[in-house]
Chain A
Amino acid sequence: MVTMKDYGNSIPIAWCPGCGNFAILEALKKALVNIGLEPHRVLFVSGIGQAPKLPHYTHGNVFNGLHGRSLPAATGARLANHELVVIGVDGDGGAYGEGVGHLLAAMRRNINMLYMVHNNQVYGLTKGQASPTSDLGFVTKTTPLGASQPLNPLALALASDVSFLARGFAGDIEHLVRLLTMGIEHHGFALIDILQPCVSFNRRNTFQWYRERVYKLEDEKYDPADKMAALSKAQEWGDRIPIGLIYRNERPVFEEQFPALQKISLVKQKIDPSQFEVLLDEFE
């Protein structure tokens, strides 16, 4: 039986006291325990930032790569061994800024993995600059004239026909556990945008600010299979902010199209030079 202890780790955590990341880490561990996954079957792939440090604070295989480049690395890993449960972890800077092109490609391809984006609308590790999701006019050292129009990650994901899309809130762990469990178990690419207040650099979008605004879609009459309804929810921001499962559409996953992956994973396939004699024949 897998327990919370299996996902424990003694490495000192470098996050600020009170950071929303602690709650997200807790929720992720609970989701993995819920599913009963053993740590060695899980591969965490992350980039650079405060959120991407998360894999070091739990237990599993870890590829902590470059800023914004976790998705291609995760795709390569998943193609090499499609028996691994692959979980990507990034912040809004890596996912929606530096790596946004990879996000579009990953959603379009529908590689089977969960991608968690800790969205605190600000750069934490580099100390407080505006992020792609900062509110319009957000003044920081790099944006003294105020940040530009924020990127809408949910609308972007829906435009790319993402297979699974949810929004969680670090202030509601049990709700987030449910979303992460669904995201891990989903067959296809799952994006979970997690509202994560930054206690050091974002005085605007605080826990309190979110608590006053978020509401759960599952409490309403809402059908996550309805793409037009999802697009409309994706536009909702301000007085009311929806959280929960926004959209789900099961479609063929990327790995399934490759004949090479139909029997066993690439990493288990033997190297056999003699199978290429037939190709040499073609050059005679």
Chain B
Amino acid sequence: MAVDFNIMVGGEAGQGVQSVGIILAKALARQGLNVFADQDYESRVRGGHNFFRVRVSDNRVLAISEKLDVLVALNKETIELHREELKTNGVIIFDEEDTESRATEDKYFGVPLKRLAEEKAKNKLMTNTVAVGAVIGLTGYDFDCLSAVLEREFARHGEKITRDNVVAAKAGFDFAREHGGRKLRQRIRPTSKDHRKILLNGNEALALGAMVAGCKLIAGYPMTPASSIMEYMADKGREHGVVAVHVEDEIAAMNMAVGAGYTGVRAMVATSGGGFSLMVEGLALAGMTETPVVVVLGQRPGPATGLPTRTEQGELWFALHAGHGEFPRAVLALANTEEAFHCTVESFNLAEKYQTPVIVLTDHHLATSYTTIDRFDLSRVEISRGELLSDEAANSMPDYRRHLVTDSGISPRAFPGQGKALVVTDSDEHDEAGHMIEDTATRNQQHLKRLRKNNGLKGDIINPKFHQEPGAELTLIGWGSTCGAISEAADLLKKEGAAVNTLNLTQIWPFPTEFISSVLRKSSRSAVIESNATAQLAGLIKRETGLEVDYAILKFDGRPFSPGEIIGRLRKEVL
């Protein structure tokens, strides 16, 4: 029987909901199963309510699911808030000695979490580890997988902490085996022991992509949901040749990355909407000075501070239009962890090929949700740095002109210090040599030269993914992290005999006009599904193709779409 199993761990901030959630996800991902995990937390350090959801399946999983098989309640509030999400035969694991007893109903499974932690591991902080052990025991999964993950995760805390955690987990595991044997009907069984998959979240994949692409400098100011990108690169950069600078503000971040890009290293910034607002002047600077820079914009609900720890896709138009004046740019939107890696690599190639900024749109949901995917094949990663002068050439060109006018608009790059070539550039309008000018002829020549790079960029568009179902009349259109839920919704609809087509955009700008026009002309009805209130993609489609999208399924409460929710909304508003 197919496995599709949902587990939620809930509690307050500080109870280690996230830590054990990740451990659970990693243990379940260890032997061939597919995992999708996400988290929901408040903008606070202690208290409140947080949860971590893990979905595990032997099929590919692209999104969360609302109905739970197991709810692990680390506090009473979790039971009250999520009881209704339980499937009819689902089980709630809770601490009957700590929470008030409800074990009368069959779905409640009381485990003395705190007592076992204190008795077995002599540490009540390990209550959450006992709970994970209980989940593994209850679902019939392999304890060795869990202990292997615990050993790895706690290794840096020393042997004793690691051993105690394994003991705590075993106590929960044994208790569940002994007392909860028949509570659950479904079991989670490993599929293959040798399948090498990796489990990581969107930001980890993005940061890895950046480092693999050869990004040597990241400058940033912490802001949810982007902070963990720089944190990861700062940590791993110590061993892998990356400089991460925690700067005074996002204005500095952007200008620093542009300074590094001008000097010849691949550089990036990662922020959210508020930080990006501060970077906008520097974005135009990159456009004017023809400096490659990659800008990661991790969206969260706005305007202003909005809902800092939640998700939205409200900055599509902002990314398209940010910056004063006219200059070429590319905007890519990441749909999943695979794209977070591959498109980030590509963004560095595009930025250097066209010597202009590239904006990578992600959002809180993708940034913080974990997925199992096939290990990235690093031998197939292509690094293409665009037109660079060799050291020899740079040294023999004392009259080098950084902004040489060419047909493609691309001027061969030298780096300052590379040789006798002097690299001069200016945020003022400048001549080919980079010195400021005010005459009309040079202005027109340079402005058009820069904009000609758009022609090349249009030839490098990453085409949207169009999945066509025979006879399907409706096309669902999405971009960014909603694409996973849209694809799963389409799968479910197909099973119900109501097949739909799906169209997912990765490249937002330059806009894939011809592709989208041809798909829309073929579909009798279309609907965008976006996490915003103004249907920004539908607006862009209208502007670029002249074609109207028929429906807009929109959501802006800061929570991600689930496949079930999409189907429900389609039934109500479209089908």
Chain A contact residues, CB within 8 Å of chain B: 11, 39-41, 43, 45, 48, 53, 55-56, 59-66, 69, 71-77, 79-81, 83-84, 101-102, 104-105, 258-261, 266-267, 269, 271-277, 279-280, 283-284
**CB of B17 closer than 8 Å to a CB of A:** no
* Minimum CB distance partner of A85 in chain B: B417
Nearest 7 CB-CB pairings of A with B: A76-B259, A271-B214, A73-B259, A61-B416, A80-B263, A76-B256, A76-B260
- B382 to chain A minimum Cβ distance, whole angstroms, is 9
- Chain B residues with CB under 8 Å of A61's CB are 416-417, 422-424
Residues of A within 8 A of B251 (CB): 69, 72, 102
Inter-chain CA distance A83–B375, complex, in Å, is 38
* Contacts A59-B422, A104-B248, A260-B237; A84 near B416 (Cβ below 8 A): yes
Stretch in contact with the other chain, from B109-117, B205-213, B514-522: B205-213
Q: Which B residues lie at the A interface, using CB under 8 A?
A: 196-200, 204, 208, 211-214, 216-217, 219, 236-243, 245, 247-249, 251-267, 281-282, 285, 289, 375-376, 378-379, 381, 383, 385, 415-417, 419-428, 434-436
* Smallest beta-carbon distance B243→chain A, Å: 5
Which residues on the B side are within 8 Å of A66 (C-beta)? 255, 281-282, 285, 427
How many pairs of residues, A versus B, come closer than 8 Å at their CB atoms? 196
Asked if A62 contacts B241 (CB within 8 A), the reply is: no
Instruction: Specify the main secondary structure of chain B where it touches its partner.
Output: mixed
Once the chains bind, are A43 and B417 in contact (CB under 8 Å)?
Answer: yes
Contacts of B243 in A (CB 8 A): 79, 258, 260-261, 266
Give every chain A residue within 8 A of B238 (Cβ-Cβ). Answer: 259-260
Residue of A nearest to B434 (CB): A62
CB-based contact B416/A284 at 8 Å: no
Given contacts A260-B238, A280-B376, 15 further A-B contacts (CB under 8 A): A40-B422, A56-B436, A66-B255, A66-B282, A69-B251, A69-B281, A76-B256, A76-B259, A76-B263, A77-B263, A80-B265, A81-B265, A101-B248, A105-B247, A266-B216
Closest to A57 in B: B435
Tell whether, in the assembled complex, residue A266 and residue B265 are in contact, meaning their CB atoms are under 8 Å apart: yes
CA A102 to CA B258, docked complex, whole Å: 15
- Which of B204, B236, B241, B267 is the one whose CB lies under 8 Å from A76? B267
- Assess whether A11 is in contact with B198, with CB atoms less than 8 Å apart: no
A261 contacts which chain B residues (CB < 8 A)? 243
Q: Which residues of B contact A260 (CB under 8 A)?
A: 216, 237-238, 240-243
A77–B435 touching, CB < 8 Å: no
Q: Would you give the shortest CB distance from A181 to chain B, in whole angstroms? A: 21
* Measured CA separation A56–B428 after assembly (Å): 12
Contact A72 B255 (CB under 8 A): yes
A272 to B199 alpha-carbon distance, docked (Å): 23
Whether the Cβ atoms of A267 and B264 lie closer than 8 Å is yes
Which residues of chain A are within 8 angstroms of B376 by Cβ–Cβ distance?
A: 280
Considering the chains assembled together, what is the distance between the CA atoms of A280 and B207 in angstroms? 12
Name the contact of B256 in the complex, choosing from A75, A275, A277 (C-beta under 8 A).
A75
Query: What are 29 A-B pairs with beta-carbon distances under 8 A?
Result: A56-B424, A61-B422, A61-B423, A62-B434, A63-B262, A64-B424, A64-B428, A64-B436, A66-B285, A69-B251, A69-B281, A69-B282, A72-B247, A72-B252, A80-B259, A80-B267, A81-B415, A260-B216, A260-B241, A266-B265, A267-B263, A269-B216, A273-B383, A274-B379, A276-B211, A279-B240, A284-B197, A284-B199, A284-B375
Most buried by A among B213, B260, B420: B260
